[in-house]
Amino acid sequence: MKHYMKQLVMSVCTCLLLGNIHLAAADTASDTEILLNWAENTYPEYFPTHQATQNIDPWLYRFYPETGIYAGVNRTDNNVYALGGPWGDTPTLIDTLPNLVALAGSGNSSIPACNTASAPAGMRYAQNGNIVDITTDGQCIPLPTSNNVCQAPQQTTETGISVLTSSTVISSRFEGFKIDIPGIPNPFESFASNFSNSKHCTINVPAEGANLIINSDVCYDMTAQFGSEFENIPGITITPPITMARKDTTTSQTVPDCFATDADTIFNTVTNEFWIRKDGVFEKQ
């Protein structure tokens, strides 16, 4: 009996140990993906195109043929290294993986399709193939200045691909604002419609970003923008916070010329130029 119990305890301990090893390996692989995706979006001069992660023990790495640079993680010491280009012919230690993931994350997950470097805090991204999911995890975050929450990463060379995106609202809900004036529509419904249904066109989109489908499930806190404008108006009741929760799906289509579309905004990923349509004319900002 004692021998059986000893074997059982040893088996359980072994399973727990192996489970922890697998979890650690999974965390390292996941963190490596987040970090290298972020590096591609943030430093296109070194990592100009999205590359698949390769696995040669103990390395998880990506190679960028345009610049001759390798970037990766050594799973033995959990450190991040770069080789080639300004880092020379031997692996150069950059920092620990946890430190750089903390820098890359900043509250958002980094993915190849979207430049999340300036994404609102609290907005989380995930990508599987050409499907991008964006969520605020049921929390209402401050209303962003732009509704283009998946801007294409900056490119170093022209791709010749222009993509027009448009959204279809699945559901929307407003809270914190009530209007009881006959014949007066809720102004937030018009705002939400314009905010959600605007179209964006991007010039020089990478090939892998030409057919994206973006599913959003987000909530915005609009109290700062509208809370004081309707105070003390008879028939209007403000109960902060004023929030807008919405779900929508954004689809992409390739177009020959962004300036010949009905887009509301245009962005060039190579030059970083930005245009807004005003009175039917695109004005450079």
User: What pLDDT, in 10s, does the model give residues 171-186?
Assistant: 888 888 888 877 776 6
189 or 141: which carries more pLDDT confidence?
A: 141
Tell me what the pLDDT averaged over the chain comes to.
82
Sign of CA dihedral 179, 183, 184, 186: positive
The predicted-structure confidence for 75-132, as pLDDT tens digits, reads as follows 999 999 999 999 999 999 999 998 888 777 554 566 788 887 777 878 888 888 889 9
Residue with tokens 């010749």: 160
How far apart, in whole angstroms, are the C-alpha atoms of residue 56 and residue 84? 18
Q: Where are the beta strands (DSSP E) in the chain?
A: 54-56, 59-64, 69-74, 79-83, 92-96, 124-128, 131-142, 162-179, 200-203, 213-221, 236-255, 265-268, 274-278, 281-284
Q: Where are the domains of the chain?
A: 2-101, 109-284
Two tokens, residue 205: 């989109």
Quick one: what percent of the chain has pLDDT higher than 70?
Answer: 82
Average of per-residue pLDDT across 62-68: 94
Q: pLDDT-derived band of residue 10, with 50, 70 and 90 as boundaries?
A: very low
Name every residue whose Cβ is closer than 8 Å to that of residue 89 and which is 6 or more positions away in sequence: 83
* pLDDT tens readout for residues 215-242: 999 999 988 877 666 677 788 888 889 8
Between 241 and 37, residue with greater pLDDT? 241
How far is residue 72's CA from residue 82's CA, in Å, rounded to a whole number? 7
What's the pLDDT at 18? 38
Residue 108 confidence (pLDDT): 59
Q: Angle at which helices 2-42 and 97-105 pack, to 10 degrees? A: 50
